[in-house]
Structure 1
Amino acid sequence: MESPLQQKRSAPSLGLVDKAQAGADARPTPPSSPDTKVRPSDERPAPLSPPQVVKPPVAPEPADGENAHPGLLRRHPRLTMTGAIAFVVFAFAAYLYVDYNSHFETTDDAFIAARRFAIAPEVAGYITAVPVTDNQHVAAGGVIAHIDERDYRIAIEQARAKLQDADAGVEKIDAQLEIQNAQIDADQAQLDRLEAALDFAKKEAVRYKGLADVHAGSVEKAEQTASELVQQRAAVENAQATLKVAQRQVDSLKADRASAVATRAQAQAEIDKALLNLSYTTVTADQAGRVVQLGAAVGEFVQPGTNLTMFVPDEFWVVANFKETQLDAMREGQPVSIQIDAYPEREIHGHVASVQPGSGTAFSLLPAENATGNYVKIVQRVPVKIIIDNPPSDVALGPGMSVVPDVRTDPSPSLYERLTSWL
């Protein structure tokens, strides 16, 4: 039978002997009491059994088909479902975005354009007034500047005097024509009288010549009637020549009258020119628009063609330089929504007016020559003219301002538009 000490030593352990246990085993055995049985010296102690190593419990191996560790779906089911729903929503929103944008063509290479021009005077003179200022809007016919008009009023009076002189010349020639016509009438009457006398003289000469031939009358009387016949013929010829001269004088007077009428027309044209020059002393705007870069000043002497100011009409449009690959479905009349960089909160509407028949580089000062050198294909840009339907009047729009047009090339409603119409 083992002693309690041996039983303690033979207790199962995990294979590790702690220091306290080792110290306890190393301590000497206390002396036995009288009652304690002394082991004989020749009795050997029973050998101690080696310490047993106890293995820790091992978890059971997983069954076939089961993972050793649980997946993300089992560990975070709510997070996984939320992510899946978010992915589906994001994919659907992306499809809506792509489907909606496929109905439009857009570009940021777009600007507002207008036919701006310089306003210059037609006549020379000193500027007496400039009733406008920079960036001011003027209506059609609005005054830009006044030029001293005194010299031009004097020119009008001079032209009117020339016109009166021409009128007097025409009237004088008309009077001469009337006199000449009366003289022609008188000459014609004289010719008629002489022709009647000539006819009578012919008859008298024939009668008296016949009487003289039959010795019924005197030869002297026959010769006298013959002489009178010759005189009457000469008088008739003289009257005819005088009538022709009078008639030719009428033709000359008519030519003089035509010259006088032309002189009068020239004088009238000088009056019209003087009046026109007088109207040019007031420089006006032929159409509604804005005054830009005003350079005119009171007291400045200007010559015809001097730049007084730049003028930007109210009529303007958008020139959008689309890529040539964007023009497949673009047609005239398609609606356009326009975003203005200067006013991002404003959106205006317009429509496609025309597409330029050629790229922008084809009409440049130095067009590209692709037949020489190495060739690298580059997508060209083609200007598209967009008319603004209702231009805003409460903001300043002008040439060169950047815009972003969106041309609706597909009129069919997108999925997003159908959904919004149903909701």
Structure 2
Amino acid sequence: MSKLVRSPIEVVAALAGVGGVMLMLYAWHLPPFETSVETTDNAYVKGYVTIISPQVNGYITEVPVKDYETISQGQVLARIDDRIYSQKLAQAHAALDGQKAALNNSRQQELASRAGIASSQAQIDSANAGLKRAQLAWDRIDTLVHKGVSTASDSETAQAALEQAKAAVNQAQAALEVSRQNLTTIIVNRASLEAGVSGAEASVQLADIDLQNATISAARAGRVSEVGVRVGQYVTPGTQLMSLVPSDVWVIANFKETQLDGMKIGQPVSISVDALEHQRLNGHIERFSPAAGSEFAVIRADNATGNFTKIAQRVGVRVAIDAGQPLAASLTPGLSVVVSVDKNSQPQQPVAQK
């Protein structure tokens, strides 16, 4: 029999060997199965999941939204008993009115002080006139005394009147200085009163902010998660009431570092969604993570050991969803997807899904 004739077992074994080699070549994308398409199932839909928490404490009086409800921007999510905050606002307004009254009183005191200065100046003028009369009378009496016409008693009287007139001038000047110092004191205290008014106005604004924060509203449109707060519950700042999920979504695909060569921003991406029976959506690469995922881990791997095993690292790639796809409305944060990128495709910049 010819040596080329083999038994069926040998033929099957040979075919199995060839098949195994071909399978390995296909799995490792080696020739003749080399491809420019990179795929990863380590990819998820992401979104802006915002935890709603109060800024003030108190008892919940109303929760007008339900689990998973679609809400609009500015819609009320919960209300906190605001009676205390209303009274604090009224109290702040009363304190502000008191500070303003004190400031107005200071301005009135300034006007009165300036009028007092004018009065003191008039008294100085009057005292100077009296001093001039007394000086003239003294000069006249002194001349007569020297001529022997007037008596010593008249001279003493005139001299006393002159001294009294000088004292009146000094007193009027001192009164003017006191009025000026009073005006300076009023003006200096004015800054303190103005600061008090500013502080009272700030207290009013803070009280008004607290009152407004007693009503918790949606900052953006979207859908709420399970509502974890109930009427009558006491909440404090930081208490998690619910989460708000806007409609903006994107995909984070974690490719191995060996897959990144050739990927560029703007290249088209094919997205297969597990929850939608693997239906496909189109997107494009928006940007790359600045570091491998291991660098953002809470507990980082320590490779400075003797038993080192090299592991291909994952790098996050953000993929934007292209606009105009009805299925995009069904995407929610957390869904698993499979992302494929043809590295030979040309980058483009379609408009992202809003």
Same fold (TM over 0.5): yes
Structure 2 CA distance, aligned partners of 1:198 and 1:329? 106
Structure 2 CA distance, aligned partners of 1:108 and 1:364? 20
Match of 2:178, as an amino acid?
A: V
Deviations 1:254-278 (A, max 9, x none): 3444444444333333332332222
Q: Does 1:234 align with 2:167?
A: yes
User: Where does residue 313 of structure 2 map in the other structure?
Assistant: 380
Unaligned runs of 5+ in 1: 1-93, 414-423
Residues 218/344 of structure 1: CA separation in 2 closer, same or farther (3 Å cut): farther
Q: Does 1:407 align with 2:345?
A: no
Residues 242/344 of structure 1: CA separation in 2 closer, same or farther (3 Å cut): same
Structure 1 CA distance, aligned partners of 2:333 and 2:272? 15
Residues 412/166 of structure 1: CA separation in 2 closer, same or farther (3 Å cut): closer
User: Where does residue 360 of structure 1 map in the other structure?
Assistant: 293
Residues 206/317 of structure 1: CA separation in 2 closer, same or farther (3 Å cut): farther
Structure-to-structure mapping, 1:92-103, within 5 angstroms: 101-102=35-36
Given that residues 144 and 284 in structure 1 are in contact (C-alpha distance below 8 angstroms), is that contact kept between their aligned partners in structure 2?
A: yes
Structure 1 CA distance, aligned partners of 2:108 and 2:321? 67
Structure 1 CA distance, aligned partners of 2:291 and 2:204? 50
Shift of 1:336: 2.1
Which residue of the other structure, out of 205, 212, 236, is the alignment partner of 1:272?
205
Shift of 1:309: 0.8
User: Where does residue 24 of structure 2 map in the other structure?
Assistant: none
Structure 1 CA distance, aligned partners of 2:211 and 2:344? 58
Residues 187/346 of structure 1: CA separation in 2 closer, same or farther (3 Å cut): farther
> Normalised by the size of structure 1, how large is the TM-score?
0.65
Q: Percent identity?
A: 39
Shift of 1:141: 1.3
Structure 2 CA distance, aligned partners of 1:353 and 1:228? 102
Residues 292/204 of structure 1: CA separation in 2 closer, same or farther (3 Å cut): same
User: Where does residue 286 of structure 1 map in the other structure?
Assistant: 219
Structure 2 CA distance, aligned partners of 1:291 and 1:351? 28
Shift of 1:119: 0.8
Deviations 1:43-88 (A, max 9, x none): xxxxxxxxxxxxxxxxxxxxxxxxxxxxxxxxxxxxxxxxxxxxxx
Task: Kindly indicate whether structure 1 or structure 2 has the higher relative contact order, using CA contacts under 8 Å at least 6 residues apart.
Answer: 2
Shift of 1:302: 1.9
More off after superposition, 250-259 vs 211-220: 211-220
Deviations 1:206-254 (A, max 9, x none): 6776x47985986856666554444333222221221121122223333
Shift of 1:181: 1.8
Shift of 1:184: 1.4
Look up the SS of the partner of 1:111 in the other structure. strand
User: Where does residue 21 of structure 2 map in the other structure?
Assistant: none
Query: For the pair shown, which has the larger CA radius of gyration, 1 or 2?
Result: 1
Which residue of the other structure, out of 298, 302, 317, is the alignment partner of 1:369?
302
Structure-to-structure mapping, 1:149-188, within 5 angstroms: 149-188=82-121
Match of 1:106, as an amino acid?
A: T
User: Where does residue 56 of structure 1 map in the other structure?
Assistant: none
Q: Which has the higher strand share?
A: 2
User: Where does residue 49 of structure 1 map in the other structure?
Assistant: none
More off after superposition, 281-290 vs 395-404: 395-404
Shift of 1:352: 1.9
Which residue of the other structure, out of 127, 136, 148, is the alignment partner of 1:194?
127
User: Where does residue 120 of structure 1 map in the other structure?
Assistant: 53
Structure 1 CA distance, aligned partners of 2:44 and 2:64? 31
Residues 399/218 of structure 1: CA separation in 2 closer, same or farther (3 Å cut): same
Residues 180/106 of structure 1: CA separation in 2 closer, same or farther (3 Å cut): same
More off after superposition, 196-205 vs 337-346: 196-205
Structure 2 CA distance, aligned partners of 1:140 and 1:393? 24
Residues 216/98 of structure 1: CA separation in 2 closer, same or farther (3 Å cut): farther
Look up the SS of the partner of 1:177 in the other structure. helix
Shift of 1:187: 0.8
Q: Does 1:328 align with 2:261?
A: yes
Given that residues 281 and 328 in structure 2 are in contact (C-alpha distance below 8 angstroms), is that contact kept between their aligned partners in structure 1?
A: no
Q: Does 1:146 align with 2:79?
A: yes
Structure 1 CA distance, aligned partners of 2:284 and 2:134? 100
> Normalised by the size of structure 2, how large is the TM-score?
0.76
Residues 204/395 of structure 1: CA separation in 2 closer, same or farther (3 Å cut): same
User: Where does residue 88 of structure 1 map in the other structure?
Assistant: none
Structure-to-structure mapping, 1:243-254, within 5 angstroms: 243-254=176-187
Over the residues paired in the alignment, what is the CA RMSD in angstroms?
3.2
Residues 223/130 of structure 1: CA separation in 2 closer, same or farther (3 Å cut): same
Look up the SS of the partner of 1:182 in the other structure. helix
Structure 1 CA distance, aligned partners of 2:226 and 2:326? 23
Residues 299/230 of structure 1: CA separation in 2 closer, same or farther (3 Å cut): same
